[in-house]
Structures are given as structure tokens and as C-alpha cells.
Structure 1
């Protein structure tokens, strides 16, 4: 759809240091591509900022932004490390706001499925262009008064790669500038890829607090939670975000562009934009395979991407920990993937030298920590670091409360969704081809969730269609990454429930359709569950570095080794086919398929998918559900 903000009127008096009446304090507006100039001029008219800063990605620019944020009290240096800072947000602005995140299309069912009457559709929220115009007109005019209008040109993926895409984000937050420099490829070189009017994703963000303001600013963190809004225009490749400065709501290259908008572009162009890590595993024979894996937030995706193998002879290398863009090569048929991001935006609590030493080592310099605790000697601290921090260490919690470690077990240093933001290039096990513009060939795709009961350690799909079904019925305990509270099992198909930018039924069919191209070399699809517990609520599987044992089996299956046998829910490892040397695990409990559980599970899955998707649920998935019903009925 066309811009629904303000009409563009001709911009007069453009000089090297001024656009109309607005000073340009950094950058040269006249050197930008004309269609970028037109859009920026419209947004300047809309937002009425104090001045303009066109970002170039230079080190000097990073130093300027950092100094400004420290002076404003938004960042504090962590003196224990090199160029690391801590940031504390307003307690009302700590997570993705799924309930305020909308897709805007003229046709509602371009965005959301035809849910059954009475079903509360959670597979996207839609508003009409007329509805959202009222919301935008209530928020954005004058929203940057007294603030700087930052223009951030960035590439998602290696600059110049045919698999990459270009975005430009406007923001009034220097914190966003600093974080986008970590998470994306920010550079003035971006403009040369737009010289001939090429498409780019247009992102507008404002904290929603024009100056001067009478509202109270908590932790020097401007935000407007009562009016927070994140809206996507998939047809015109635009995102507009208001009121929140928190990661996923403000770093618009991340979930907004890299999944919702890119997913719609991928649908139009015939590729996949997925909530997946990318890793390589090299076995003891020196054979390397690349794997993509999808997990809901806080299910160990980053830990798996940076895994330290618990058995000798194996090497893991990280390509990315959160998002994968994948295309089938037209010549070879290989599914090739890139990580469109340049950094890690990981959940901090629970990360330590046991669970993920590589993540800890990655963020010891040039990193931003948000809503974590701080030790008296200027180090970061969060829940999970108890064994690595001396008892009695004075901690300042993200709430400002001070306490001594170990004296009161009820004290919490960090928000459950506290984050570290660090450059991927610093990861000790980053793959030397992580920025390969051609992408890397995927041999296996893994889906997984946090399932405390009933679900085996690993399942291989019978075929591609069955694998798409496994992904469609993915479930997991809810996490702190969104505004949900409490632990309950939630459906999260493809680990993409909050992130698909168009009708979810069409998204599932898009996956199914890749089987129709004869040249496509379809990777095997798997489901894993590290989180099954026994009757005492103890984990049956040790996880972490021992997950290499499952990855080894997956690689062997990718090579078609005869180490699997059919079951009611898919192919399971033959007993003895997993390397369990040195472990004491109860194989029968790990792999058990309790009939009552699976009968109830498949009935509930059908009810949920049918309710959410209605007639948009692909017939192939209905057939898979019926086949699983029949197989489960035969369980003893």
C-alpha cells in the first residue's frame, strides 16, 4: 500500500548542512539515492526532529553514540571489561509486545488465517489500513520533537550477497543506533546498492517521548508503554514502531524485518526466512555437515549454536544463533542458508561457562548488557552465574537494589529476559565461512521445544511432508521473551507463531510446495526434546554439550545410515545407535511413547490447528494428522 502518513511536498533549501529548517549534524543528504531522499523527507515532515544524523557505521560514530548515551545516563561502563556497557530499561519496557504487533493489509486474510468462530487467533494480528491510520496519526506527528533523527542504512546478510536484503531504519534512539551497529551491517556503502531505485525495507522507530516532556523518565529510558505499537506493511515492505526502546520492538532489522517482512518477501520470491540457528558439526572422520534448527525463544537455541561437544573428535562451528534465510540453489538443488544478522542478542540468565562458555567469551568486549545485575567490581551478573561468582559479592540488581550473593536466595539480580548484545565475529567458534555470500548447504533441519513429558529425545520425520507436520504441531513451554507469564505448554508452529508476516496457512503450504520442484534436494527433518523429565521432575537427558550425541545420530541419518526404526510418531533411534558412552540415562524413559499421552496430544493438535487455521490448514497436514491418529491407536 502507499504511504499513509503525510503527502510528500517538494523539499526546498537542501544544503550540505540543512534540510529545510532541520540541521544535518552528520552526513550528506544530497548524496543519498533520490527515492531514499523522498522517503526521508516525508518522515522528517511527519516526525519534526531537532536535527538529522545520517549514520555511516564508522568507529568514530560508535564512539560518539556511546559517549552521548553515557552522558545521558542510559549506559554505564562495566569497568571489568573492554568497551562493555550496562543499560537498564523502564520496567514497563522489557519484552516483545506481541499483543501490540500488527500486520496491515487491505485483505484481512492475506495477513491472518480464516480461524474458526470462537477461536482466539494467535497466528498474527491484523488491522485495516483505515484503522491503523488513526493509530499512526495519534502517535507519529511530532514524535521526534527535540530529538535527533538518526538514519541507519544496513544490510541483512553479507553486503552484496544475492541472498541479502537492504533496510534503512529511522530512529530517535542512540541506543538503537549502537545496537543496530552490532546486530546488522551498518555502512555508508549501503547507498550504492540503492542507486538505481532498488527496493529497500523502510523502518521508522520512535521512543514516543517528544521533548520537552512532563512524563517521568525511569532509568533515563524514554518510552511510552501506554501507546506502544509495532506495525508491518508487508505489501510495501515497511515497519513502523512507536513507544518501546526494547530490542525486538526497536531493532527493526531483527524480528520485524528479518522474519515478518522477509518472510513475506520469501513467500513472493520462493525462499524461506526462518527463526533458526545455523551451525556446522564435523565428526571424528572429518566430515562436516551444516544444520539449521528452530526452537521457540529461551529453549536453548543459542546454547546449541555454540555447543561445546562433550565427546572427543567432534567440532562445532557457529554461523548464526537466531535467524536463517534459506534458498534452494537452482543449479545444484542444495538448500543454502545465510545468517542475516551480524550479532547475538541472547537471553542472559542461565548463560554460564557450563551451559554456553562460547557465549560468555563472546561478550567480554564490545557488548551491551540490558537489565542484568552488576558486581561491585564492575562485572555483569545474572541468575546462572552463582557458581562462578564468590559468595558475598555485592550485587546491584537491575532494579537498583543492592544485596550480597548467597545471603538471601529470594533476591534476583536480572530480569528473566535480560539480554547480551555482542558482535558475532567475536565468537571463539564462529565459522570462517559465516559471511560466505553464497550461503552454506543445509543437510538437516531440526525443530524442538521444551516438552516435559511424553515426547522422545529425537524423532526423524518419515518424509518432507511429515516433517512439515512435525513443525506445524510444535509446542513448548512459554518464555519470558514475550509478555506471557507463567509456564504453560503453548503451540508455536515452526517456532514462528509470533513472527510470520502473512497468512499462516499459506506459510505452511509454502513449505509443502518445495517438494514439488524435482531438483530440490530436501534435507531430512527432525524433532528434538532435551527437556523431558521423570516422575521427580528431573531432566532425563543431560543436555548442553551432550546434545552432540543426538547431532551425531542426525548426521548419520543424513547419510542414510541404518540406525533408525519406525514408530507411531516418526523414525526413532535404534536402541544402541546413540553414543551414550559415559552417560547414565534411562533409554526406555527417554524414548517412551505413552499411548494415552499421544492420543490426547494428536486430538488436541487437530483441535488447535483447525481452530486457528480453519480452511487455510493445508489438506496435506490434515492427512498427516489422520495418519498419526491411526498409528497412535496401535500403540500398546
Structure 2
């Protein structure tokens, strides 16, 4: 039986004797050393080693790809907090089950302690972690894909905010029947993660890293657009970074993907939304504190008639994102969806926030045209036509627009209705405004041929249209 019968608790002092020498560096924080002692008492490794080399491990490209992670289990006192692809577990019962699974699981193995930073060490958007693993392959992969080593450990010593992660690749003990090869258990309330199998950092960490701090963990790719006269724009776009449909140039603008498709967003000290990539990749030119986002480009799908749509404001932009999710048919719990939309709303409407403008492209094949219009809009060089769904290019074909947005409004209504009382009031108000615009447009249509729409100059007409 292990020296520790319960699951270790971060930031608590453990007075038990370690089962093997901890070999902790002299400057290791007491909270980390105490937690490692608890994990060692539970898992009983033969040896403990610390990964302190700041140089990233050099590994073949194929070995940098995480194995498919098991579906995450969200262990929270709130049953509605389960992630989009996961399921809820009672945290007390799950801690007991994990303690049994991990009891003695590292016997005959070496425990590696890997202090690391997701994002450059010390960066405004970066988060600190300590991962315990019994797999040297996992430790090397962490070194190659994150900012791991002594610098990260020194940064951890200056803060009480770090994510403890325990990942074991050892097989389950006889009699511990599992229907899946492993699991990832996230504890958002206490901020920790336990995994058996190859899963771990390959899952959505926003439930444990986000909380109330305004973090957004997205699958957007950051695009850097640089003009021949030295100007630059950064656009977080729903475009695959290696996709064939990503344009390389737009007239005098060069287009490059800065990230690999995993982008963290958070408001900076100046209120602007800033972006960084939590993992090291081929493209690392973000700067320590990330880059300010000028615009966000979402994918409205091939069914969108207009080349692109610009949201009236940030709250309307979140409604457009709800429309995209509703049409995509993603399964999720009420609580997880409501929490996602509430976090997006807070990111752009909190006091002092300077939200980027949001555009929706009519399918990836039209990305070049949408980006060209986006750049001209940001520069104040292109007008827009206020329409039911948002601001459209001046030459937009509005035929069939009312029918499409009527159907979209119904989809949004169904999506928000499924959230019940969890649905953010702001989105209900935005849906009401959309339906009102549809009604007014139908009345104008019945009254006779409409007058030619007046192109909007920029911010004033964005305000008028909303």
C-alpha cells in the first residue's frame, strides 16, 4: 500500500517522509517540493529526476505530435461545467478513484519533474505548470514543445499560481477494468489535472487555466499581414495555418501564419485583446507578451451568400459565433456553452476593453477577398452596407438574405433556448434585435422597391446599424 492513500493537494505542506530521495534543486519552491513529495508517496517511483535544461529537446517532427488524448472528464462541484467533448464526474468520488489508480503506479519507473511555461517564460499571456510523468518520451516532448527547464522553475518560485499536472503512462493494475485506454481528469475548482495514458496537455486547458481571468483558449490561427511600406496587422482567423486556401499575398500585403492553430487570447493592460501560442512551434515570432489583435475572422461556411460580414459590435460578434456553432451542430452541455459565450462577452465588454473588430467570411475559399476587404475597412478605405445580419461590402448581393437570416435566427433561438436560464441575457437581447431587423426589412420590402442603401463610412454607421 502506498505511503499516501489520498490524492495529493497542491499548495499544502506535506510532512511525510519521501519514499525515495527527491533530488530537488536548492531553489525549488517549497510548495512544489511538498506537492512532488505527495505524488511520490502515492505513486512510489524508484527514482526522481528534475528536468532543468532550458534548451528545447531536439526530436523528429513525428514524435512531437501528441497521441489522441482520451475524452476529458471535468470534475467540478458544478455538474454543468463539463467541457464540450467531455463528461462530468463528482470531484470527491473521482479523487478517490484516481488515488486508487495511481497508488504505486510508478514502481520500477523513474519520475520526471518538468517545470514548464505555456507561452514564453514571464510573458503576460503565459501560464506556469509543473508536470510529473513517468515517461521520458513525454518529458522530452514537453521540452521540445513548451518552455521547460530551470527558468520556468524560477518563475514558479515567484508566484502561487501554477498548474499541477500528473501523467502516467504505466498500465493499469490488474482488476482495475477500464472501458478506455486512459483518461484525463480536469479539476477546474482546485486547478489541477491528472491523466493516465498518453493524454495530458493535448486537451483543452481553458477550464483549469481560464477561470475568471479572462482567458480564451481558441483554435484560431494568428495571421500577420505586412505591407510593403512597413505596416502590419494581426488577424486571428478560423483558417488552417497550412491550408491551401491561405493566400500568400494580397496586393501590397504579405500574408503569413504566425501560429499553428492554437491561440490564447487575453486583454492586455491597454485593454486590447492580445494573442500568443501556448506551445513552441515552427513559428515563434510572437514576442514575450504576444501581439495585439486587430481583427478576428470567423468562418460562416459556404452557405453564407456575402463575401464577408462585419459585426456591428462585440456583442453582435458573439451572436454571430453562436450562429456558427449552432449550424455546426457541436454537442456540448448547457453549462459549458453558456460559460464559453459568457467568457467571450467579458473579453470584449469588460471595463477598459478595446475589442477588435470581427468579420465572418463566406467559406475558406473566399478568404483572400474577405481579408482584402477587412484590411480596407481597418484602414478606413472601404465603406459597408448595413444589412440584417451585419455590415456588408458595398457590392453585396442581398437576394435571399432575409430568408437565410430568418433561418439563422431560428437556429440561434433553438441554441439559446437549449441553454435555458444559463443563456446570457445579452445574447437574448441581440437575438431580439436581429429578429426586429428582419421584421423591419420585410416591411420595407412590402412597401415597395427600397432606396439604394447608403454606404457606411465606418464607426458612426456601425453604431447606427446596431
Give the TM-score normalised by the residue count of structure 2: 0.80
1:48 corresponds to: 44
Separation of aligned partners in 2, 1:269 and 1:136: 28
Separation of aligned partners in 2, 1:306 and 1:41: 51
Corresponding residue to 1:321 among 238, 243, 260: 260
Report deviation, 1:292: 1.7
Separation of aligned partners in 2, 1:166 and 1:86: 23
Report deviation, 1:159: 1.0
Mapping of 1:161-176 within 5 angstroms? 161-176=123-138
Cα 1:592–1:338 shift into 2, 3 Å: farther
Query: Counterpart of 1:209 in 2: which secondary structure?
Result: coil
Corresponding residue to 1:260 among 207, 222, 244: 207
1:440 corresponds to: 291
Query: Counterpart of 1:320 in 2: which secondary structure?
Result: coil
1:198 corresponds to: 160
Report deviation, 1:125: 3.0
2:277 is the counterpart of 1:339: yes
Query: Counterpart of 2:125 in 1: which secondary structure?
Result: coil
Which one scores higher on RCO, CA 8 angstroms, separation ≥ 6?
1
2:70 corresponds to: 97
Query: Counterpart of 1:205 in 2: which secondary structure?
Result: strand
2:462 is the counterpart of 1:623: no
1:418 corresponds to: none
2:275 is the counterpart of 1:468: no
Mapping of 1:380-419 within 5 angstroms? none
Contact kept in structure 1, 2:27 and 2:154, CA below 8 Å: no
Contact kept in structure 2, 1:262 and 1:273, CA below 8 Å: no
Cα 1:163–1:342 shift into 2, 3 Å: same
> What is the Cα-based RMSD across aligned positions, in Å?
3.6
Cα 1:123–1:609 shift into 2, 3 Å: farther
Deviations 1:566-594 (CA, angstroms, capped at 9, x unpaired): 2221112222xxxxxxxxxxx85xx8645
1:523 corresponds to: 356
2:240 is the counterpart of 1:301: yes
Separation of aligned partners in 1, 2:312 and 2:402: 20
Contact kept in structure 2, 1:102 and 1:231, CA below 8 Å: yes
Cα 1:190–1:305 shift into 2, 3 Å: farther
Contact kept in structure 2, 1:309 and 1:315, CA below 8 Å: yes
Cα 1:551–1:565 shift into 2, 3 Å: same
Deviations 1:401-442 (CA, angstroms, capped at 9, x unpaired): xxxxxxxxxxxxxxxxxxxxxx434xxxxx4xx1x2233221
2:181 is the counterpart of 1:181: no
2:82 is the counterpart of 1:232: no
1:609 corresponds to: 416
Separation of aligned partners in 2, 1:183 and 1:88: 10
Separation of aligned partners in 2, 1:276 and 1:4: 39
Separation of aligned partners in 2, 1:240 and 1:276: 27
Contact kept in structure 1, 2:383 and 2:393, CA below 8 Å: yes
Separation of aligned partners in 2, 1:595 and 1:209: 57
Query: Counterpart of 2:45 in 1: which secondary structure?
Result: coil
2:283 corresponds to: 424
Cα 1:592–1:304 shift into 2, 3 Å: farther
1:135 corresponds to: 97
1:289 corresponds to: 233
2:392 is the counterpart of 1:553: no
Corresponding residue to 1:512 among 330, 345, 361: 345
Report deviation, 1:240: 1.0
Deviations 1:202-256 (CA, angstroms, capped at 9, x unpaired): 0111224169x899xxxxxxxx76252211112221111123x1xxx33x2x544
Separation of aligned partners in 2, 1:41 and 1:127: 26
Separation of aligned partners in 1, 2:159 and 2:347: 31
Cα 1:474–1:174 shift into 2, 3 Å: farther
1:38 corresponds to: 34
Query: Counterpart of 2:166 in 1: which secondary structure?
Result: strand
State how many pairs are aligned: 435
2:391 is the counterpart of 1:571: yes
In structure 1, list runs of 5 or more residues that go unmatched.
13-18, 67-82, 113-120, 216-223, 344-422, 426-430, 478-488, 532-540, 576-586
Report deviation, 1:186: 1.0
